[in-house]
Amino acid sequence: MASHTTSAETHTLDGWPILVKQKLTEKRKARKRWQITRAPQDKHKYNKLGKELKHLLLTLKNGGVQQYLTSLMPTIATNYSFWKATCKMKHSQQHIPPLQLHNDTWARADKQKATALTEHLATVFRLFPPQSTALEKENLLHELNVPHQMALPLKKIQIHRVIQVIQYKIHPTKAPGYNLITGKILKELSQKGFRAVMQIYNAILRLKYFTCHWKVRQIIMIAKPGKNPADVMSHRPISLLPLLSKTL
């Protein structure tokens, strides 16, 4: 119904443009008059002012977004605002409803939900008890510490192999990790880009050091079908690694 107030009326007017304040004042007066008279012409005027206010707010919002986008710069001076804004817009939002906890309270804020889900996962995923004896473990560690193990070094990765795996093994729409580098981005690499990836991979094999950044997984919780979404146990995790890590 037209008699409902807009969400704009429930906010403070501090910092709003004078045109919005004037339009909102006119609308409130028109609503009060229509509630008293119930005349069709007063209702029409109230509805018209409501549409004008809505259009004005939308125009101001679009203008603010446009101004924000034009001010973005991918430089250190702006703290790489362009890249951060892109990540925020492309990041998939998984909505999780409020979760009911064991003490009959509710986790409503994102931080509370994350804590509740983390505690639940900690009880589900635990390390298996060790199966080997102390002597077997000691012998294994001794063999691993031998300076010259009887194993041939891994062969260098060739650039044609990097191109083959990225072009034919990586799906362009496959979910990326935390760095948002998708399969489509990798497929658009130039020959110089593929060579850089090859050099990174060979450096990892040569130095025998796998960067910690490629071990960071992004955990996303997905509601199980047919389960109560308010129950913590109704969500299962999926783990997303960076695609460059999976490619190697």
What is the 3-state secondary structure of the chain? CCCCCCHHHHCCCCCCCHHHHHHHHHHHHHHHHHHHHCCHHHHHHHHHHHHHHHHHHHHHHHHHHHHHHHCCCCCHHHCCHHHHHHHHHHCCCCCCCCEECCCCCEECCHHHHHHHHHHHHHHHCCCCCCCCCHHHHHHHHHHHCCCCCCCCCCCCCCHHHHHHHHHHHCCCCCCCCCCCCCHHHHHCCCHHHHHHHHHHHHHHHHHCCCCHHHHCCEEEEEECCCCCCCEHHHEEEEEECCHHHHHC
Same domain? 103 vs 188 = yes
Q: Are 49 and 30 in contact (CB under 8 A)?
A: yes
Same domain? 118 vs 59 = no
Same domain? 118 vs 61 = no
pLDDT in the model for residue 156? 94
Same domain? 13 vs 59 = yes
Same domain? 64 vs 117 = no
Same domain? 107 vs 198 = yes
On whether residue 178 sits in a domain, the answer given is: yes
On whether residue 206 sits in a domain, the answer given is: yes
Same domain? 107 vs 227 = yes
On whether residue 170 sits in a domain, the answer given is: yes
On whether residue 118 sits in a domain, the answer given is: yes
86 exposed, middle or buried (CB, 10 Å; 0-12, 13-18, 19+)? middle
CA angle 165, 169, 173 (to 5 degrees): 125
pLDDT in the model for residue 14? 53
Full domain range(s) for residue 18: 7-77
Same domain? 71 vs 118 = no
Number of compact structural domains in the chain: 2
Same domain? 158 vs 241 = yes
pLDDT in the model for residue 201? 97
pLDDT in the model for residue 63? 79
Same domain? 57 vs 170 = no
List, for the chain, all residue ranges whose pLDDT scores fall below the cut of 50: 1-13
On whether residue 92 sits in a domain, the answer given is: no
| Spatial CA neighbour of 221 closest among 109, 101, 93, 111 | 93
On whether residue 189 sits in a domain, the answer given is: yes
Same domain? 112 vs 225 = yes
Same domain? 242 vs 163 = yes
pLDDT in the model for residue 57? 86
| Spatial CA neighbour of 208 closest among 246, 153, 247 | 153
On whether residue 148 sits in a domain, the answer given is: no
Total-model pTM? 0.54
Domain boundary among 46, 77, 108: 77
On whether residue 112 sits in a domain, the answer given is: yes
